[in-house]
Structure 1
Amino acid sequence: MSKFLLSVHVLAAIVAIGPVTVAASMFPRFVRDGGNPAVGAVLHRICRVYAALGVTVPVFGLATALSMDVLTDAWLLVSMALTAVAAVVLFAAVLPAQRDALDGGGANAARLGMTAGIFNLLWAVVVVLMIVRPGSSTGA
């Protein structure tokens, strides 16, 4: 069962988080270049929809951790905390700034780029922790 849960967790991360990271990274250029509003709307929609789907990632991650009996391992606790921080950055900074830009609020492209970069960096660290798993006895 652990292998199945891990597979679903990894697939959910790829399918749900990947599009958000790409669209969030592309949006600041749209703002900076004064791009087509339709393109900005699509990028924002990708971020919103896939952010909602991204909830499946920690759900299956927790189920996987429970099945593997690693729920109290430090690397996992740090990963969960970073995932929560990434969610806050996305929902409290990236998505509202994108909405503001689409509504003509004059969003700052550099600030949007920075917050998207922080979001992406947090996910990159989580991925590394998931692969390296410091202190793991599996030898990986």
Structure 2
Amino acid sequence: MTKVLLSLHVLAAIVAVGPVTVAASMFPPAVRAGRMDNLVVLHRICRVYAAVGIAVPLFGFATASALGVLGDAWLITSIALTAAAAAVLVFQVLPGQEKLLAGAPSEGAVATRVRTRLAMQTGTFNLLWATVTVLMIVRPGSTTGV
């Protein structure tokens, strides 16, 4: 059962987090290029897959419970970083995209600042997920083997 849960957890991460990471990263350059039709699609991908992404921690907790590692430092750190990534996505990236979609200025200093902030927040989201991925693979201090 552990292998099934782990497989579901990894598949959910690939299917849910991957599209959000790519679409969110493509959004600021699409704003710069003035491709409004692409922006709507990229934002929709981010919103939908963010909701689907709830499956990742659900399967993760089930897997960790089955493996008996819920108290391990690497897992607790991963949980905290996952929560931080979710907060960045929900409270910074998605609202930033919505602000640009709602007609924030497309040219000038204000537009550059908004795009730059969104790109930075997206990079932070991606970096958090990359760190979680490394922790899930390396599992420092784990006694369950490598």
Aligned-partner Cα distance in 2 for 1:117–1:43: 16
How many angstroms does 1:90 deviate by?
A: 0.1
Residue matched to 1:10: 10
Return 130-139 or 69-78, whichever deviates more.
Answer: 130-139
Q: Secondary structure at the match of 2:129?
A: helix
Residue matched to 2:103: 104
How many angstroms does 1:137 deviate by?
A: 2.3
Aligned-partner Cα distance in 2 for 1:137–1:59: 22
Aligned-partner Cα distance in 2 for 1:71–1:109: 39
How many angstroms does 1:30 deviate by?
A: 1.1
TM-score, structure 2 as length reference: 0.92
Q: Secondary structure at the match of 1:136?
A: coil
Residue matched to 2:45: 46
Are 1:95 and 2:101 an aligned pair? no
Where structure 1 has 5 or more consecutive residues not aligned to the other structure, the ranges are none
RMSD, aligned α-carbons: 0.9
Residue matched to 1:69: 68
Residue matched to 2:79: 80
TM-score, structure 1 as length reference: 0.96
The count of residues paired between Structure 1 and Structure 2 equals 139
